[in-house]
Structure 1
Amino acid sequence: MPTPIQQPSQLFTAMATALRNSSELNVQVGNHDDFTTPGDKAWVLIDIERNASGERAATGRIAHVLTLSLQVIPALSATAFAACDLIAALKNLVTDNRWGLPGDQCDLPMNIDGLPSLAIRADQPNKAWTLTFNQTLYLGPTLLDDPLGTPKFARTWEVSDIDDPDQYTSLEA
């Protein structure tokens, strides 16, 4: 069973590991701080662009809807369409991928979109493509678990604030 995740940065790490280990891609992976200039291999730069609210998980964990981008900068010797082709391969990898994270804490990617872009570094623009998508993480403790291990519940029509654990009551056996 995968290790429970506590922070959004764990998604970044899991994605970077999966991309580096993909035998189909053969790319360098990092963030914008890691990239200096195109080289012999294409680069995939991962960025978390947004952390929005979402609906809580059924267990009560707080939803973090992350907007992620994978920017592809082709190798120096690559053809004009290399970045577009790599985006297609990334799209195939991203679709239905939870990056080895627990399924109850990491939804499948949604709203996957690839667009041409520019990577500008040291006044040198590089032709690139960017794949963006949303992926929801559910972080924090579940509202069903309290320190005594007694499952709790609340009915929305009986409480003033469904997000307040103090308004939950113990399940009857």
Structure 2
Amino acid sequence: MPTPIQQPSQLFTAIATTLRNTAGLNLNVGGPDDFTAAGDQAWILIDFDRNASGVRAADGRIAHVMTLSLQVVPALSATAFTACDLIAVLKNLITDNRWGLPGDQCDLPTNIDGLPSLLIRGDQPYKAWTLTFEQTLYLGPTLLDDPLGVPKFARTWEVSNIDDPEQYTALEG
């Protein structure tokens, strides 16, 4: 069983691990700060662009709609079309991927879009392609795991003070 997700950075790590371990891609994978220059291998730079709110999960976890971008910088010997081709491979990989994260905490990616881009480091521009997508994570405790103990209830017509927790009765399981 996959490890529960505690924070959004686990999505970054899971994506990076999957990309590094995908046979035949032969890529450098990291964040934008890891890139220094194009070399013999293509780079995929993973970045979070947004963390929006979404609809809570059925178990009450809070939804984080993460917008991610994967910027592909081709190897020096490659053309910009090579990056476009790699984007197509990544799109196929991303489409149904939860990156080994728990399915009840990580939805499938949506709104996948690839387009040409330019990466500038120092005074050096690099032709690149960027693939963006959204993936919803559900973080935090479930409402089923009541941090205060056993869930309780009270009927207003049966108690003298609805705000008095001592007058509440435990839910029957």
Aligned to 1:21: 21
Whether 2:79 is the aligned partner of 1:75: answer no
Residues 59-99 of structure 1, C-alpha deviations (whole Å, 9 max, x = no match): 00000000000000000011341000000000011011000
Deviation of 1:152 (Å) = 7.3
Deviation of 1:146 (Å) = 1.6
Q: How does 1:100-119 map to 2 (within 5 A)?
A: 100-119=100-119
TM-score by length of 2: 0.87
Taking the aligned partners of 1:152 and 1:56, their CA distance within structure 2 comes to 22
> Are the aligned partners of 1:145 and 1:151 in contact in 2 as well (CA < 8 Å)?
no
Whether 2:134 is the aligned partner of 1:134: answer yes
Residues 142-171 of structure 1, C-alpha deviations (whole Å, 9 max, x = no match): 001124764679xxxxxxxxxxxx9xx964
Q: Describe the SS at the equivalent of 1:33.
A: helix
**Paired-residue identity, %:** 81
Equivalenced residue count is 159
Deviation of 1:7 (Å) = 0.2
Taking the aligned partners of 2:55 and 2:81, their CA distance within structure 1 comes to 39
Taking the aligned partners of 2:56 and 2:152, their CA distance within structure 1 comes to 16
Code of the residue aligned with 2:99 in structure 1: it is W
Aligned to 1:33: 33
Rg (Cα) greater in structure: 2
Taking the aligned partners of 1:151 and 1:121, their CA distance within structure 2 comes to 55
Aligned to 1:158: none
Taking the aligned partners of 1:44 and 1:95, their CA distance within structure 2 comes to 17
> Are the aligned partners of 1:145 and 1:152 in contact in 2 as well (CA < 8 Å)?
no
Consecutive unaligned residues of structure 2, counting only runs of 5 or more, are 154-164
TM-score by length of 1: 0.87
